[in-house]
Amino acid sequence: MFANEVMLMPYYIAALNIEHAYYELAGEYEPFEGLCFVDTLDLAEKRQLTLFGEENTARVTRQKNAPITVIIGNPPYNVGQISENDNNKNRKYSVIDDRIKQTYGKDSKATLNTKLYDPYVKFFRWAMDRLNGRDGIVCFVTNNSFVDQFAFDGMRKHLLKDFSRLYHLHLEGNVRQNPKLSGTAYNVFGIQVGVGITIAVRLQQHKTPRLSFHRIDKSLRREAKLSWLADRTSLCGVKWKRLTPDDRHTWLVPKNADEFAGFPALGDKKTKGDAADTSNVIFKLFSLGLATNRDEWAYDFARDGVASKMKRLVTNYNYEVFRLTQEDSLPKNIDDFVNNEPQFIKWTDRLKESLLARKTIKFDPLKRRSALYRPFTREWLYFDSLLNQRRYQQHRFFPTASAEKENLSICATGVAAERPFATLISNVIPDLNFFGPGTVPQWFPFYTYSEDGSERRENITDQALEQFHGKYKSKKISKWDIFYYVYGLLHHPGYREKFADNLKRELPRIPFAPDFKAFTSAGRELAQLHLEYEQSEEYQFEWLEAPGVPLSYHVEKMKLTKDKTAVIVNPSLTLAGIPPEAFEYRLGNRSALEWIIDQYQITEDKRSGIRSDPNRADDPEYIVRLVGQVVHVSVETVRIVNSLPKI
């Protein structure tokens, strides 16, 4: 028996626990000679492992040569570093990473596969390879996202290919998907992500793989879940459900998958090419929002504010270029050469590549653009191909400020989002994490352009227009009618409820509702309401002014009262009488009002020290007025949505 630990304190604690457990069972003490101070994933690499002295090296060598048949563990869950400035990227494991690329990645249809390099996924890949063709068992306690998220389709395929019996006990606890749950109270580890136990058996005498699944009651608190586990001493104590994956390697196949598959797709990545078949697809192009990877620098509530920050960043970057030109040769490691202080600059890999090419940058005031950072939260953005890490297709949707006057774009929560389905419309550039991290919404514009703003094209396909003409027997239906129909339908509560599981695994598909005109009319009304929220009338609150405190509109951080009937703007002002409908209109995990409260506050980035202040010197009442406008928009949205006919 062997055990690995890479941290010193846990290493000693593990030794004590193992030896104590043996003492209690055997009645005598014996030192555990199988404990190794080593990174388990390093065991697959060719590099020499000589940490912690000769004795440890001998143990590691003995382990590497042993015919392991049982592997048990609780691998780490995280992936990636917080910032390029950290200069502490996750360690590269060339052998394991390449194995993932050639197996899980190669057989995945997901566009974004960074999650396949989460540490716990690497441990699954390592464990299977470590069995080296032998029969054996792997048991891991891990993040349970691989069970149903689209990004892990290739991994799910190979798990059933590599193992003959697979059991997954789903312990729920994903606070991001269900904000009503407290991680501490409902998650077995008190963390934000869901947890599961996977037992994978490889037995060559099994001719056909078998997948068994059990989901524990999500309403159980942490103590009840642990008690439930303690009461079950074997696999036989669990009521397993046999699962049959579909041809896309989906384990939890929705009951109405065939019905949903019959509807036209909102978008399909297969149709993005110029010569692609666009039959049964409504929008030809779609895209993620803008990823700056330096939000604290590239966004600001003030137009002059974003200019000031980006001028400073550009100046500092150009100084680094100057320093590099003074070197006789390129440094071996650019990370060690550059100034990594977060107050100085925010590095990305692309900016470092530009530095290595000794390219200077010039600040361009015309690149300041209006953007929708979060729902009903407009900020100024510095829109640049280099200083934004990934623009995706947004430069083709809103290439110039003039495009904002004519183009509209509808978003829908992305595949495998960690939050409830949501939609919103925008006439400006949206951010990647529009509904918060883990939602990756896709945007579907009415028009697309060349990068200079010319060559405007309608993005709704001609085939979709013909489908709608045929279905509703009317050639008067226009592409704009279809656009607003889609927006209205995506708000329909019955659609979201019936196809909730489908919307987690693929982009929306659009059914043909009996009353096309009703949905088109509702979509137009909703679009106008959501786009023109800053011109909307205000909800009439009861103003409660604190006696003896001068009235002020200045906001540091607003908050709701415990009963959620009032917003405390500041010590001088409270807005009372919030209607229940204000919380019925939700965008992901928050209501529209809660998004305003979350975004419109003074903050200071802990790393860079950059301060964000939403208060407007030229319009001090703006935030208070916005609260009233967004509540009015919420109430009206609920009214319109509740009036939609059945689908």
Spatial neighbors of 234 by CB under 8 A, at least 6 apart, are none
Whether residue 579 has pLDDT greater than 80: yes
Residue of 431, 425, 427 lying closest to 407 (CA atoms): 427
- DSSP letters along 349-393, please? HHHHHHHHTT------GGGEEEEEEETTEEEEEE--TTTSSB-TT
Per-residue model confidence as pLDDT tens digits over 489-512? 999 999 999 999 899 888 999 999
Higher pLDDT, 312 or 271: 312
pLDDT in tens, 78-119: 654 445 555 555 567 899 999 999 999 999 987 777 889 999
- pLDDT higher than threshold 80 for residue 456: yes
Is the pLDDT at 274 greater than 90? The verdict is no
Give burial (CB, 10 Å; 0-12/13-18/19+) of 15.
middle
Q: State in Å, rounded, how far the first CA of the chain is from the last one.
A: 60
**What percent of the chain shows pLDDT beyond 70?**
95
- In the DSSP assignment, the letter for residue 234 is S
Alpha-helical runs (H) found in 36-140: 53-65, 94-100, 119-131
Looking at residue 644, what DSSP letter applies?
Answer: P
Instruction: Please tell me the distance from the alpha carbon of residue 603 to that of residue 599, in angstroms, as a whole number.
Output: 9
Stretch 511-521: mean pLDDT, rounded? Answer: 98
**Which candidate, 224, 196, 190, places its Cα nearest to that of 212?**
196
Instruction: Encode pLDDT of 22-51 as tens digits.
Output: 999 999 999 999 999 999 998 988 766 666
pTM: 0.84
452 and 534 Cβ atoms separated by less than 8 Å: no
DSSP secondary structure of 488-532: HHHT-HHHHHHTHHHHHHS--B----S-HHHHHHHHHHHHHHHHT
In a 13 Å sphere around the CA of 405, the CA atoms on its Cβ side amount to 4
* Full 3-state SS string of 260-321: HHCCCECCCHHHCCCCCCCCCECECCCEECEECCCHHHHEECCHHHHHHHHHHHHHHHHHHH
Residue 554 has pLDDT above 90, yes or no: yes
Q: What is the pLDDT of residues 153-175, one digit of tens each?
A: 999 999 999 999 999 999 998 87
| Residue (of 168, 146, 172) closest to 157 by Cα position | 146
